[in-house]
């Protein structure tokens, strides 16, 4: 009977944000605009870093990787959602839903690890400036990026595997605008207790673990900045870090609300709006937050434009 249940559902219907018909066009325009800005911003970021040899440092190596990740992350969700709002075609195939969940979990988890790696990089640069070049070697930087993706891979395999081993009988509607883990679990007709516990344990430990690295790093950074003798170096260090803190609080705040608290799978209506932040808004904001507050990138941009 279990196999029968599996074959019965060949597709799902994503019903997130379905309430007002007039707002569908607005949502489509909004998602499309955000997606285009995300692509342009992140591609520019990658090109600026590639073209300027002064920016070939660990910090910009991570930023370039973050931009690449944000393009992929946003591409898994925004274009499809924009199209669904526009033409009203909200069905997604069983395998399409599984692959969307797989890649969304992969890039989302990797983003959390990236933010932790970048916080550690800033911590080393500001708190151990003399040893910075030694500690943040090219090899370590590459290993950290690979490790982040590997962790993403492990998590998305666990989440997608566990979720799609459930049975889906009559209820094909998913109360979300993409195949989010919690929303798909909610649509199952199996007992989902184990799945909710796995999601809470795995996602919770990843989010809390990476957030701890971030906040401890920034704690030390703030203490170091406060103790700096000259006002100029204080200002320079502070301007780099304050903008990072904005992204970090946005990302971890929303993600924590979604995955790292008990009962996360049972309040889908609230989660629709919140997940817009970490799925489409933050990938768009990252290049602006990391460039507009950054003298080196601005200088590089001016230099490239003069050419």
pLDDT digit string (tens) for 124-177? 998 999 999 999 999 999 999 999 999 999 999 999 999 999 888 876 888 889
Matching residue, tokens 């666990």: 158
Q: Are 80 and 100 in contact (CB under 8 A)?
A: yes
* pLDDT on residue 104: 95
- Mean of pLDDT over the chain: 86
* pLDDT on residue 250: 85
Q: What residues have CB less than 8 Å from 195, skipping those under 6 apart?
A: 162, 163, 166, 185, 188, 265
Helix ranges (H only) for the chain are 2-8, 23-51, 58-87, 94-127, 132-135, 138-163, 181-186, 193-226, 231-259, 268-276, 282-292, 295-306
CATH pick for 11-306 out of 1.20.1070.10, 3.40.630.10, 3.40.50.1820, 3.40.140.10: 1.20.1070.10
Q: Coil, strand or helix: which one is 11? A: strand
Ramachandran angles phi, psi of 283, nearest 5°: -60, -30
Measured in Å, how far apart are the chain's first and last C-alpha atoms? 68
CA pseudo-torsion sign 38, 287, 285, 65 = positive
pTM given for the model? 0.89
Domain ranges within the chain, ordered by starting residue: 11-306
Query: For 26-35, 149-158, 190-199, 265-274, which range has the lowest pLDDT when averaged over its residues?
Result: 265-274
């Amino acid at each position: 009977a279990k196999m029968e249940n599996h074959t019965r559902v060949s597709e799902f219907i994503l019903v997130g944000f379905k309430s007002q018909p007039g707002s569908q066009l607005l949502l489509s325009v909004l998602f499309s605009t955000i997606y285009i800005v995300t692509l342009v911003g992140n591609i520019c970021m990658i090109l600026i870093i590639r073209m300027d040899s002064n920016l070939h440092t660990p910090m910009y190596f991570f930023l370039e990787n973050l931009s690449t990740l944000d393009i992929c992350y946003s591409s898994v969700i925004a274009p499809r959602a924009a199209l669904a709002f526009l033409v009203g075609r909200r069905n997604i195939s069983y395998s399409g839903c599984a692959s969307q969940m797989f890649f969304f979990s992969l890039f989302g988890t990797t983003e959390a690890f990236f933010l932790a790696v970048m916080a550690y990089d800033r911590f080393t640069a500001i708190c151990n400036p003399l040893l910075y070049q030694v500690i943040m070697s090219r090899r370590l930087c590459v290993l950290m990026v690979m490790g982040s993706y590997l962790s993403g891979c492990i998590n998305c395999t666990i989440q997608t595997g566990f979720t799609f081993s459930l049975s889906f009988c009559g209820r094909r509607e998913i109360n979300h605008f993409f195949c989010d883990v919690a929303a798909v679990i909610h649509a199952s007709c199996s007992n989902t207790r184990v799945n909710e516990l796995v999601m809470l344990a795995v996602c919770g430990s990843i989010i809390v673990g990476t957030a701890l690295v971030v906040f401890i790093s920034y704690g030390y950074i703030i203490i170091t900045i406060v103790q700096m003798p000259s006002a100029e170096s204080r200002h320079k260090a502070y301007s780099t870090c304050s903008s990072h803190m904005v992204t970090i609080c946005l990302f971890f705040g929303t993600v924590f609300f979604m995955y790292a608290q008990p009962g996360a799978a049972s309040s889908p209506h609230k989660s629709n709006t919140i997940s817009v932040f970490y799925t489409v808004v933050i990938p768009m904001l990252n290049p602006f937050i990391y460039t507009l507050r950054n003298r080196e990138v601005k200088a590089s941009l001016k230099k490239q434009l003069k050419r």
